[in-house]
């Protein structure tokens, strides 16, 4: 802590029973204090309590701090008190002039101005308990760097999420299969978002179709369509209207339907809750094809036998198996 002139130095009181030290300065119309455990301050106080003592002190609900340069900082008061970050208090203490407008629920207003002595007491308090200017700049730089790192990490995660289907630019023909069986009820928003991202990333040289499977098979188009803005938009509308229903009885027929389109890649969006018989028939349909099968899973149970069978098929075909995050970033 910095050394302050005796007249302006904050008061330090140690409560032996509670093992808490309170550091306090009393101004003409307010009291500012912070506490820390034990006798020795472990480091700068990050927060301090400001209590307005201007009579009647229980009536004030808002304090607006007016600093030089026209800066205004409104603060909500509860029982005429608020908790403030000490780095903000440092900015207040550095101001050449400090005025405070007090208001209550009845819109009564009082305006105060800190005297030179009160400004000196406030500065002495923050010098004693708070971060130095160098510390504040260092913390600000660290915060900026951390925010930039977080943004970069989030952007990378979103981009990886967008590419979760694993489509290769060399894949000329792609078929997406959406599991819309009853177990997918809580995942459909997420699935639709991933399908949209996948289609958006296709190039104009690629062709696609979208199928949906439950106890019946639905198709966006009877044939592959070229990737165009118009076709992608039509597919968005079609996928958006899908609702969950039934079971996965039509999975073998849907896989056969997809394979009849002669794709290089099939992407199956599912929770993996697949009937074993349906899974076995779907596996059998892949015997005479060079297509890869990628799985995008949603809250899947890796112990499900049907999922294990489809995942093994994906691996044999040269495909990938990925688990989607719980919430789409759209």
Which pair of tokens denotes residue 102? Answer: 């007090």
Distance CA 78, CA 62 (A): 9
Low-confidence ranges of the chain (pLDDT < 70): 1-6, 56-58, 326-330
pLDDT tens digit string along 218-253? 999 999 999 999 999 999 999 999 999 999 999 999
Report the pLDDT value the prediction gives residue 133, as an integer from 0 to 100: 83
Which pair of tokens denotes residue 27? Answer: 């101004």
* Percent of the chain's residues with pLDDT above 90: 72
Provide the sign of the torsion angle of the four alpha carbons 36, 38, 39, 41, taken in this order. negative
Report the pLDDT value the prediction gives residue 266, as an integer from 0 to 100: 97
* 314: β partners: none
Residue 279: name the closest of 303, 255, 315 by CA. Answer: 255
Domains of the chain (ranges plus CATH)? Answer: 11-133 (no CATH), 160-323 (3.40.50.410)
The structure's pTM equals 0.57
Which pair of tokens denotes residue 240? Answer: 């958006």
Report the pLDDT value the prediction gives residue 330, as an integer from 0 to 100: 40
Determine the length of the chain.
Answer: 330
Distance CA 297, CA 314 (A): 12
Distance CA 44, CA 180 (A): 57
Phi, psi of 164 (to 5 degrees): -65, -25
Report the pLDDT value the prediction gives residue 76, as an integer from 0 to 100: 94
**CB burial class (10 A; 0-12, 13-18, 19+) of residue 311?**
buried
The answer to whether 313 and 293 have CB atoms below 8 angstroms apart is yes
């Amino acid at each position: 802590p910095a050394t302050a002139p005796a007249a302006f130095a904050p008061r330090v009181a140690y409560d032996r029973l509670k093992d808490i030290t309170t550091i306090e300065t009393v101004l003409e119309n307010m009291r500012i204090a912070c506490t820390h455990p034990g006798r020795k301050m472990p480091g700068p106080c990050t927060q301090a309590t400001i209590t307005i003592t201007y009579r009647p002190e229980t009536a004030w609900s808002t304090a607006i701090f007016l600093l030089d340069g026209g800066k205004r900082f409104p603060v909500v008061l509860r029982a005429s008190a608020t908790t403030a970050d000490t780095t903000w208090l440092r900015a207040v203490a550095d101001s050449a002039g400090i005025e405070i407008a007090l208001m209550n629920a009845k819109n009564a207003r009082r305006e105060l101005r800190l005297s030179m002595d009160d400004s000196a007491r406030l500065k002495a308090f923050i010098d004693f308990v708070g971060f130095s200017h160098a510390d504040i700049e260092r913390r600000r730089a660290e915060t900026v760097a951390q925010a930039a790192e977080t943004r970069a990490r989030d952007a990378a995660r979103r981009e990886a999420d967008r590419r979760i289907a694993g489509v290769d630019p060399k894949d000329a023909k792609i078929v997406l299969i959406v599991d819309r069986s009853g177990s997918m009820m809580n995942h459909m928003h997420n699935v639709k978002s991933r399908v949209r991202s996948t289609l958006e990333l296709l190039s104009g040289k690629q062709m696609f179709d979208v199928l949906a499977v439950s106890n019946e098979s639905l198709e966006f188009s009877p044939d592959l369509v070229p990737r165009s803005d118009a076709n992608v938009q039509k597919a968005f509308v079609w996928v958006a209207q899908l609702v969950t229903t039934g079971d996965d009885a039509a999975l073998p027929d849907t896989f056969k339907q997809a394979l009849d389109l002669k794709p290089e890649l099939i992407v199956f969006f599912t929770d993996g809750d697949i009937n074993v018989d349906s899974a076995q028939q779907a596996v059998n349909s892949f015997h005479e094809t060079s297509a890869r099968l990628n799985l995008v899973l949603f809250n899947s149970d890796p112990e499900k036998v049907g999922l294990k069978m489809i995942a093994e098929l994906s691996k044999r075909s040269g495909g990938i198996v990925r688990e989607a995050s719980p919430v789409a970033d759209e």
